[in-house]
Structure formats: C-alpha cells, structure tokens
Copies of this chain bind each other. A is one copy, B any other.
Amino acid sequence: MNIAIVGTGLIGGSIGIRLKQTNFADKIVGIEKSETNQKKALQLGLVDEFQTLPEALQNCKIIVLTVPVDAIMELLPQLLDKATNQVIIDMGSTKTNILNLISEHPNRGRYVAAHPMAGTEYSGPEAAIPNLFKDKMMVYVEAFKTDEDAFELADALTEQLEMKTSFMTADEHDMHTAYVSHISHLTSFALALTVLEKEKSQGRIFELAGSGFQSTVRLAKSSPDMWTPIFKQNRSNVLEVLEEHIKQLQHIYDKINQEDYDAVHKWIKKSNKIKRIIK
C-alpha cells in the first residue's frame, strides 16, 4: 500500500518519517509545490519520492492532506470528484466549513476529517520529527459519515503514530480548538508585538526576558501562512474567544487601576484552578 502526503512540512513530514520507521506503507509519496522543500524532504528522508497529485491519486490508497486549511478547501472537492476506493484524510485545524463544503458529495464516505492535536512553533520540512504525535490526541470529526473501511484504514494510520483518539461534531471541534489552541497563538503573537514595539524606545527591553516570557511568547514564531487561514475558517469562534479574553484582561486592568487588590488576589487564585488541568 502506498500513502500520499500532500504538503511535506511540520505535520506532513513528521507523518512521513514516522510511517517510514514503522514500515506501514510500501511507499511514501510526497506532493509539494515548493521545489526547495521537495529537495529538503528527500534529503531528510521524510518521503520516498515526489509525484504530482493526479499521479499520487492513481498510485496511492491513502491521501493525507496537511497543507493550510484554505488549500484543503480547494483541494478536497477536486480529490473527491476523482476518488474511487481511496481514503482521503484531511488533517487541518478547522472542520465546520470543510465539512459543509463536501457534505452532499457522492464520495463523502471516502473522506476522513481528522485533526492531530500536535505541533510545534516551527514549520517546514526541517521541523519534522518522528515522535511529534506520540501520546497526543487525534480528533475525528463526524466520523460516522465515513465508510467503515475508510475509517478503519485512517485509524490504523493513527495507531502507527501512537496517538490517542477522540470523537466530536464539527461545531464542538472548532469551538474547542478556538479555546485551547487558536487563542494561545493570538495571545503569543500579541505579546511578542507588545514587547517588540517597546524595544524601539527601550533597546534593552529583552535583556531580562526569562523562561516565563519565552513560554508565553514561543508560539509567536508560528507561520502566518498556516495561521491566517485558520483564523479565517474559524472566524466566529475565534472572535468569541478573543472577546472573552479581552474582557478578562480589561477586568484586571480595571481592578489594578482602582487599586482593588483583594479583587486582584481573588482573580489570580481563581485562575490557579488550571492546576487541575495541566501538570
């Protein structure tokens, strides 16, 4: 069985390198626009060879889409038009729009909507690592609409990646990711810019930056090509969580401004409940 990976960056490359380790496929075929990235991916051994998308669709049983979500919106309908018994897995970070787009497609059953909750702030083939997915969560969205054999094959691939699994509706998925992933990126981007702006008048501002700052700002290294389409596709949820987050910050601004330090203490103490969630 051959597997095609469309987009050989952080996610696609990490899938390729892991599947090559486990010998799950006879051949890992890459599909990649950028010639530079093709060369890098071959050098790094992320895939066995590159083909065009029509070639790959003919030669491969599984097609995994790991390109930005706007590109998936374009590619998926075309692929489903031509699909016969292949399995097409979309690994994008948003699901409602894409599922609406193909809900009535005659080949809907060949499509698996999946989202691996794994990543780093780095991108491109050089960022690929074999253990990126280990013990992380693979979310399946509207899995009940996928043909049973197609789902089984996708889930076998997930097992190769050593992931846990979870099932959700598209609405749940897009809201949950807005709250536990997309907002984290927005706050990091905003925090980086807040301090970078200050650097213009205070040249030494980063001298005291320690591990706390690094931790809250590291996601600001994430790719705009990947993240702009996510905010676009998940616009309403992203606006909701941003509004809530700004409200929290405005609340604490007001309390500090009013010198109501009892309220500040209570607010921090309440936020400490996050200990229950994260180690």
Chain A residues within CB distance 8 Å of chain B: 117-121, 136-137, 139, 166, 168, 172-173, 175-177, 179-181, 183-198, 202, 204-225, 227-228, 231-232, 235, 238-239, 241-246, 248-250, 252-253, 256-257, 259, 261, 264-275, 277-279
Copies assembled: 2
CB-based contact A216/B213 at 8 Å: no
CB-based contact B216/A219 at 8 Å: yes
A-B contact pairs, 23 of them (CB 8 A): A117-B210, A166-B208, A176-B204, A177-B208, A180-B208, A181-B213, A184-B191, A184-B215, A186-B249, A190-B248, A195-B274, A198-B244, A209-B277, A215-B219, A216-B216, A217-B278, A218-B278, A220-B271, A224-B265, A235-B256, A242-B256, A246-B253, A249-B249
CB-based contact B192/A273 at 8 Å: yes
Known contacts A217-B274, A253-B243; A176 and B196 CB within 8 A of each other = no
CB-based contact A219/B210 at 8 Å: no
CB-based contact A220/B189 at 8 Å: no
> Bound complex: CA of A168 vs CA of B231, how far in Å?
41
